[in-house]
């Protein structure tokens, strides 16, 4: 019985094709993971949450929560070989529980749409900085000048919407054509190039004379300053940066060849992603302190510090342009993975072509993007709950929907799926397997729920 079930799973194939190799999968997931979350968001959430203690909590979340969730997503995706909604329905039925697990997939699809609605606006912002850098307008600019350029951009809703439109069009274009070829190629070049440029920038920030200040801001932990709300933000950031909790990695896992080691691939991606985020912080904070800027400046932080640094460098126009091109690439390869679950679902469920599905979903996301695009200008004074529309979308998706999706995913993989199914899929029952199971059954779900309930004030203080 068991072996025949295993055989059936073995023969399952994805409607959308498969990655050509293990490397292709690792690159695609790395392309999804490495994005605006590392270079744009990480430094500013660290800044807003006071530095070192936040960074340590974030690293713990990546290792203890992020990795087990990622492994669970990949193994579920590969076992189901369908879009996340159908995969969860299928596996739920197969494990003898309920097809209603599909609602976890459904929440993921929705989270992807909402995240991409603001992600694309920031993606457009990076595109516009490619043009600004190339025009040389940052050469020898001062901090107030660079700030004025940033405010000029965000202040004009037409400009923000135009670049958001271009970014969405690029994303729809690639998703419509299928993820394999173009994307694999782009990522193969993009990740090493981005890393190389970050190292050049690191050299510059070390020479700024404020490297020590940046280092101590990022790594000297003052736990007194840490609130449960920042712990939740650290956990949300871990989910966001690893692209987990909404089924993007599950969708990519569905295209993964059977032989690939899921543990190996996941650890590789997590390390590459974490390195790029830390490097971004080490580049940005020394420049913040050297120029008397505020580390808690928020979403515009990298759009000020980096142009400022490039403006003072030899060959700065060239390096700045290359940098924003690479950042746009990084955002692009991430955006694609945010759309993939929704598009795969529409293709499978309604028999549309990929192109039709990508355009349909893309238009919905584009329209939703106005909420964020206008949050920086016309509607900047329209505030409720957490702040502007953008602030609320950001909080709802990253701090609530991703952790909630994550907890349901690890609980499914750790408790609902039987030992045989998971150890068969992971190709192991040794130490690593036992470690994963321990983390997925206990550490990750309890950790996520605890942080979540603490942050929303539903757990009382015992002291």
Site residues (vs ligand TRP, CB under 6 A): 32-33, 35-38, 115, 240-241, 243, 246, 248, 334, 337-338, 402
Distances from the Cα of 100 to the Cα of 112, 397, 408, 412, angstroms: 20, 21, 12, 12
Instruction: State the nearest-atom distance from the C-beta of 240 to ligand TRP, in Å.
Output: 5
161-199 burial string, b = 16+ CB within 10 Å, else e? bebbeebbebbbbbbbeebbeebbebbeebbebbeebbe
Q: 115 or 141, CB closer to ligand TRP?
A: 115
How far apart are the C-alpha atoms of 315 and 165, rounded to whole Å? 31
Instruction: State the nearest-atom distance from the C-beta of 111 to ligand TRP, in Å.
Output: 7
Instruction: State the nearest-atom distance from the C-beta of 328 to ligand TRP, in Å.
Output: 12
Q: Which residues contact 95 (CB under 8 A, 6 or more apart)?
A: 416, 417, 418, 421
417: left (phi over 0), alpha (psi -120 to 50) or beta: beta
Contact between 236 and 398 (Cβ < 8 Å): yes
Instruction: State the nearest-atom distance from the C-beta of 422 to ligand TRP, in Å.
Output: 22
Q: 54 or 211, CB closer to ligand TRP?
A: 54
Q: What distance, in Å, lies between the first and last C-alpha atoms of the chain?
A: 53
In 3D space, the residue among 332, 394, 322, 305 whose CA is nearest the CA of residue 123 turns out to be 332
Instruction: State the nearest-atom distance from the C-beta of 233 to ligand TRP, in Å.
Output: 14
Q: Angle 404-410-414 (CA atoms, 0-180°, nearest 5)? A: 150
Instruction: State the nearest-atom distance from the C-beta of 37 to ligand TRP, in Å.
Output: 2
Instruction: State the nearest-atom distance from the C-beta of 269 to ligand TRP, in Å.
Output: 10
Instruction: State the nearest-atom distance from the C-beta of 230 to ligand TRP, in Å.
Output: 19
In 3D space, the residue among 361, 382, 310 whose CA is nearest the CA of residue 133 turns out to be 310
> Helix 228-242 and helix 67-80: axis angle, to 10°?
40
Q: 163 or 289, CB closer to ligand TRP?
A: 163
In 3D space, the residue among 39, 38, 44 whose CA is nearest the CA of residue 391 turns out to be 44
Q: 290 or 335, CB closer to ligand TRP?
A: 335
Instruction: State the nearest-atom distance from the C-beta of 73 to ligand TRP, in Å.
Output: 10
Q: 110 or 443, CB closer to ligand TRP?
A: 110
User: How many residues comprise the chain?
Assistant: 463
Q: Which residues contact 260 (CB under 8 A, 6 or more apart)?
A: 22, 25
Q: 9 or 283, CB closer to ligand TRP?
A: 283
Q: 373 or 401, CB closer to ligand TRP?
A: 401
Q: 330 or 426, CB closer to ligand TRP?
A: 330
How far apart are the C-alpha atoms of 337 and 40, rounded to whole Å? 18
Instruction: State the nearest-atom distance from the C-beta of 53 to ligand TRP, in Å.
Output: 22
Q: How does DSSP classify residue 429?
A: -
Q: 357 or 401, CB closer to ligand TRP?
A: 401
Residue 387, strand partner residues: 384
Q: 193 or 378, CB closer to ligand TRP?
A: 193
**Minimal CB distance residue for ligand TRP:** 37
């Amino acid at each position: 019985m068991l072996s025949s079930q295993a055989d059936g799973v073995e023969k399952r194939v994805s409607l959308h094709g498969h990655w050509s190799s293990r490397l292709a999968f690792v690159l695609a997931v790395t392309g999804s993971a490495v994005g605006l979350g590392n270079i744009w968001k990480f430094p500013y959430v660290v800044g807003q949450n006071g530095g070192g203690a936040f960074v340590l909590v974030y690293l713990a979340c990546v290792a203890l929560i992020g990795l087990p969730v990622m492994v669970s997503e990949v193994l579920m995706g590969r076992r189901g070989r369908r879009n996340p909604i159908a995969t969860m329905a299928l596996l739920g039925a197969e494990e003898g529980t309920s097809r209603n697990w599909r609602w976890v997939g459904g929440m993921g699809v929705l989270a992807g749409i909402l995240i991409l609605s603001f992600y694309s606006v920031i993606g457009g912002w990076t595109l516009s900085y490619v043009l600004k850098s190339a025009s040389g307008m940052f050469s020898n600019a001062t901090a107030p000048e660079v700030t004025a350029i940033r405010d000029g951009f965000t202040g004009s809703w037409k400009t923000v919407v135009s670049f958001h439109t271009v970014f969405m069009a690029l994303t729809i274009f690639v998703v419509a054509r299928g993820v394999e070829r173009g994307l694999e190629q782009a990522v193969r070049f993009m990740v090493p190039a981005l890393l190389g440029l970050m190292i050049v920038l690191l050299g510059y920030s070390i020479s700024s004379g404020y490297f020590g200040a940046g280092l101590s801001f990022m790594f000297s932990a003052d736990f007194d300053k840490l609130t449960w709300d920042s712990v939740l933000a650290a956990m949300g950031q871990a989910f966001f940066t690893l692209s987990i909790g909404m089924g993007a990695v599950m969708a990519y896992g569905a295209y993964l060849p059977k032989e690939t080691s899921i543990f190996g691939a996941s650890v590789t991606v997590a390390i590459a992603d974490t390195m790029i985020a830390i490097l971004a912080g080490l580049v940005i904070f020394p420049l913040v302190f050297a120029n008397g800027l505020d580390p808690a400046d928020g979403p515009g932080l990298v759009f000020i510090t980096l142009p400022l640094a490039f403006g003072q460098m030899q060959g700065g126009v060239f390096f700045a342009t290359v940098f924003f091109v690479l950042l746009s690439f990084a955002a692009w390869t991430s955006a694609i993975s945010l759309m993939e679950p929704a598009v795969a679902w529409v293709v499978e469920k309604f028999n549309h072509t990929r192109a039709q599905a990508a355009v349909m979903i893309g238009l919905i996301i584009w329209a939703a993007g106005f909420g964020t695009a206008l949050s920086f200008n016309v509607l900047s004074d329209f505030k409720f709950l957490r702040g502007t529309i953008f602030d609320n979308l950001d909080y709802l998706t990253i701090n609530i929907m991703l952790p909630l999706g994550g907890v349901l995913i690890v609980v499914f993989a750790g408790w609902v799926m039987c030992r045989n199914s998971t150890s068969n899929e992971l190709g192991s029952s040794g130490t690593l397997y036992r470690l994963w199971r321990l983390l997925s059954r206990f550490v990750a779900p309890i950790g996520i729920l605890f942080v979540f309930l603490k942050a929303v004030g539903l757990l009382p203080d015992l002291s």
